[in-house]
Amino acid sequence: MTLSDIEIASFRDVFVRIKSELLVIDDSIITDRHHASNGNYVDTDPQNQIGGIIPAFSLSGWLRHGMECVVQRYGRTACHPGESNANFRKEGLYNRDLDAGYHPKGECLDEYEDGCVIFDLFGGFGNFPGNVMRRPIKFSPVRTSVDYTRGQAEGHYRRLNRNVVSRNEGDNREPLRNTEVDAVANLDGAWHLSFREVKPEFIGLLAEGVEYLNTHQTDFMHQLGGARNFGGGIVDCELVNPLYEESEFWRVFDRGKSNTNKMDTKDDEWAHDYLPEFQSALTERVETRQ
């Protein structure tokens, strides 16, 4: 198969399966606890049927970082995510990043209309939003109400309490304050990404980026969200085979069912016919441009 045989527009919508035992997205998980609480909501009640939304910001940064690493492994620099004139808290930080595999955001536009592949995907300046649309993930503890085809997940809202105690010996570990963080436990679902314009190198980079994140899931730098030193943010991820039909897609998330023979055939097709084409499109874009 060659790229010209592939109908690239059919890859506009893709899904990344995301599994994590614990995710702490700092303060930014939006819950719908009012929905099930009926006026007598108790934080610690395991029967709480609370769902919510994981905003796309953290997910986006996590994915972008994985993709940047792929580009850097090709020996090329990636677009820096921050503006060069931003007020960084640490002096010299930006320049240090530039030495470590980044070029100033948007500098790649000087030579190419669409910039580097990271810029092309994530955008940058004002009127250029980037070609990949990242959606939030809606999660629910009630599996039957999760629509994976709409980029949703099964997940259980938890509120974690931490007592911060005094370290001073005379205080006998007297509590100083209590902090609460929102978390999602046992997350399993689909993250929906769509491309405004689909280019073969985008699919190649997405596939390689997701694989990179999966194999580096315990690296501090590639965990997702907060609580990384406490077992949070370790994510199993994979690109769901874009060749699957809807019924096959549902099977992926069904613990009671395994792949059909047809799905196995599609996995082979994806790995041997499609992916190499997308990967060489990526190689060509990344390696032929300085």
Which residue matches tokens 């527009």? 9
Binding mask 141-160 for Zn ion (x = CB under 5 A): --------------------
Q: Are strands 13-23 and 175-195 parallel, antiparallel or unpaired?
A: antiparallel
Work out how close the CB of 213 gets to Zn ion at its nearest, in angstroms, rounded to a whole number.
20
Which residue matches tokens 């059919």? 10
Decide: is 108 part of the binding site for Zn ion (CB under 5 A): yes
Residue 261's nearest CA partner among 272, 248, 274, 276 is 248
Q: How far is CA 145 from CA 138, 228, 253, in A?
A: 11, 30, 13
> Closer CB to Zn ion, residue 108 or residue 281?
108
Decide: is 50 part of the binding site for Zn ion (CB under 5 A): no
Q: Which stretch binds Zn ion (CB under 5 A): 27-35, 62-70, 109-117, 158-166?
A: 109-117
Q: Which stretch binds Zn ion (CB under 5 A): 100-108, 184-192, 198-206, 207-215?
A: 100-108
Work out how close the CB of 104 gets to Zn ion at its nearest, in angstroms, rounded to a whole number.
8
> Closer CB to Zn ion, residue 34 or residue 289?
289
Q: What is the DSSP string of 123-179?
A: --STT---SEEE--EEEES-GGG--GGGTEEEEEEEEEEEEEE---GGGTT-EEEEE
Chosen residue from 15, 62, 102, 119 binding Zn ion by CB under 5 A: 119
Decide: is 202 part of the binding site for Zn ion (CB under 5 A): no
Binding mask 64-83 for Zn ion (x = CB under 5 A): ---------------x----
Three-point CA angle 105, 108, 114, nearest 5°: 105
Length of the chain (residues): 290
Question: Which positions lie near Zn ion, rule CB under 5 A?
Answer: 79, 108, 115-116, 119
